[in-house]
A and B are shown apart, each in its own frame.
Chain A
Amino acid sequence: MLQITNLKKVFKTAGDDVVAVNDVSLSVADGQFASIIGKSGSGKSTLLSLLGALDKPTSGHIIVGDKDITKMHDRALIQYRGRKIGFVFQSYNLVPNLTALENVMLPMEYAKLAKSERIKRATHLLDQVGLSADQHSRKPGKLSGGQQQRVAIARALANKPSLILADEPTGNLDSQTGTMIFKLLHELSRTENTTIVVVTHDLSISGKTDVTFTLRDGKLVKK
């Protein structure tokens, strides 16, 4: 269960304080596929970075499982990010000089998995997201956008996270590939029983998720 209570994030600027996330409360059940929609600047990505412990909220609580991540120390947050969360970014953010296989192995290395185990699991995940064997040893520059996003999804699944956070995962893809990626994420939420939260402004996608949250000016306006 992902539970957010009275979450607030204020950015200090030279002129005025900007409230990016304003008193948001929501909950997502385990294995649910949730989407957060809203216009640009509505606070979607900020909310996602708070959920992923990439940033710290000004106030409020985020409870994942039975732990409040807003009260964790930096070292515990690194472990939380590495083992409990998987990230999928709009522009894939793969390490350019590593192969697809090495990119997927990277989070497992930080989680201190044995090398043989890393290779085995990374190969399985790449197969699972539909990357052919010859593509495993390719660097991101030699893969298409859709293939790169598949690698990114495999990387997000590497440490069997309980929560996958995806920021505009289909934003850089054509509609056909975007639909395929969406289906893949949807399938994974079912097969891996992983909670997936997707930030998107693609209404065709948001309509097909289990639950959709709408943000406007940092506030949750619709569930």
Chain B
Amino acid sequence: MNVFSRGIRNAFRNSIRTFSIVLILGLIIGLSLAMLVARQAVSQKISSVESSVGNTVSISPAGVRGFSGGGNPLTATQIAPIQKLSHVTSVDESLSDRLTSSTTNLQSSIDAGSLGRRFAGNDGGQNIAQSGGFSGGNEGSATATFSPPVIVLGTTNPSDLSNTEGGGTFKLTSGKVFASTSTDNVAVIGSSLATKNNLQVGSTFTAYSTTITVLGIFDAGNTFSNSQLIMPLVTLQTLSGQAGDITSAVATVDSITNVDSVTTAIKNQLGSAADVTNAATQAQNTIAPLKNIQTISLYSLIGAVIAGAVIILLTMIMIVRERRREIGVIKAIGASNINIMVQFMTEAITLTFLGSIIGIGLGVVAGNPITKLLVTNSANSSAPTGAGRFGRAFGGITNSITSVHGTVGWSIILYGLGGALVIAILGSALASYFIAKVRPAEVMRAE
């Protein structure tokens, strides 16, 4: 038998006390782990939301969204200074237009359906006239010959669909994309549009009375984007007679933390000429409840560890006081302070280790339910407001933040055991001081 085995055996000298302390420590360590699980799950969700939102700022002419609203386009001269703002790494410019039967030989790959005819009616007949074959502007009298226009996007970044109406992830299925500064009469077309018009890489079609060569075919994963075509910005500006005009720009910022400041700088730069929005601000508002949980769980974790340390501290002080004479005796027969401290520390570690086994069990069982409860309550109390493109997107994010799942992995278990060790060491510290203060002569005075 040595100091360690005596320490372990001493932990069981008073079975009722041992049971009580282990149970309380188990609850505390279980709470700590649940908070740790919540914090980890919430942190992962925050990172996931932040990375999915991206660090971009959208710029569009004031009052215009896609093909709705009204106003004047922005110009390259207005956008150029934005490139020079600090934290802005790049600016992608684009111009959108609609090709009708009078400007292209392409046929839209989208069937008008009742919605298309209804929208055409709400457009006051403009599209109908352009597309041909449709007479009358009222939804009730719309005919089945109406064909939606083909949307063409002129851009300096053909691989990015994030700022288009349809969105989606650009995936080139054949051919290649054009250079950002290209002025060639080329296009990359959506897969649905290509199929509808029997186009392949190298095929040609007519737009704005000009022959355009298909450079590549892409798949965006949705029908709307796959019915579009993408051309070099300058080419579209020239062919459509909108030289220098820009209907949308996307500024990329070096870090998500700088998105707000860049947004403000762009607003100051463009004034009332543009609507400047970013996804990050709304994302931050949406994930604010999660950040609150992060803070709450951190404080709870620290509080629980301190509570555990205090319980062990008081227990060990009580035990040292009880065994004062015994400490005096073993000092009298040759034990050093270190011998005795190690023995008592082993006793404290044994108690906290047993507590941590119960705590880990509780953490495994209660970690996920507590995390879900915290997240659901916080998310419900601060749901975001507003609509628009970001609003719709963040409706989904708001729903997704409540789908946080906390799991107890090996790292959490190791944290639990590490925390228990910290609790035991902190809790034994003052007891060790009292042990050192016990003088062996006290064993004689107690006689």
Contact = CB atoms under 8 A, between A and B. Distances in A.
Interface of A: 45-46, 48-49, 52, 54-55, 75, 78-79, 81-83, 87, 89-91, 93, 95-98, 102, 105-107, 109-111, 155, 158-159, 167-168
Contact of A87 (B1, B6, B9, B332): B332
B447 A55 contact: no
B440 A89 contact: no
A106 B441 contact: no
B14 to A, nearest CB: 10
Nearest to A50: B441
B326 to A, nearest CB: 6
18 contacts: A45-B444, A49-B440, A52-B332, A54-B441, A55-B439, A78-B336, A82-B334, A91-B447, A95-B326, A95-B330, A96-B326, A97-B9, A97-B10, A105-B1, A107-B333, A110-B334, A110-B336, A158-B333
Nearest to B10: A97
Interface residues of B, number: 24
Given A54-B439, A105-B1, A167 B447 contact: yes
A90 to B, nearest CB: 5
The 10 closest A-B pairs by CB, nearest first: A82-B334, A55-B441, A110-B334, A54-B441, A54-B440, A107-B333, A49-B444, A93-B329, A49-B441, A45-B444
Nearest to A92: B329
Contacts of B325: 93
B13 A110 contact: no
Nearest to B334: A82
Given A102-B1, A105-B1, A168 B447 contact: yes
A155 B332 CA distance: 12
Interface in B323-359: 325-326, 329-336, 339
Interface string B151-173: 00000000000000000000000
B447 A54 contact: no
Contacts of A45: 444-445, 447
Contacts of A87: 329, 332-333
A89 B443 contact: yes
Contacts of B445: 45
B2 interface: yes
Contacts of B9: 97
Interface in B150-202: none
Nearest to A78: B336
Contacts of B1: 98, 102, 105, 109
A95 B13 CA distance: 11
A52 B444 CA distance: 11
A54 B329 contact: no
A78 B1 CA distance: 21
B165 to A, nearest CB: 79
A106 B330 CA distance: 8
Nearest to B335: A110
Nearest to A90: B447
Contact of A81 (B10, B13, B334, B439): B334
Given A48-B444, A97-B13, A102-B1, A83 B334 contact: yes
Counting chain B CB atoms within 10 Å of each CB, the highest count among A81, A91, A93 belongs to A93
Contacts of A81: 331-334, 440
A155 B336 contact: no
B190 to A, nearest CB: 82
A168 B10 CA distance: 29
Contact of A155 (B13, B333, B444): B333
Nearest to A107: B333
Contacts of B326: 93, 95-96
A184 to B, nearest CB: 19
Contacts of B439: 54-55
Contacts of B329: 87, 89, 93, 95
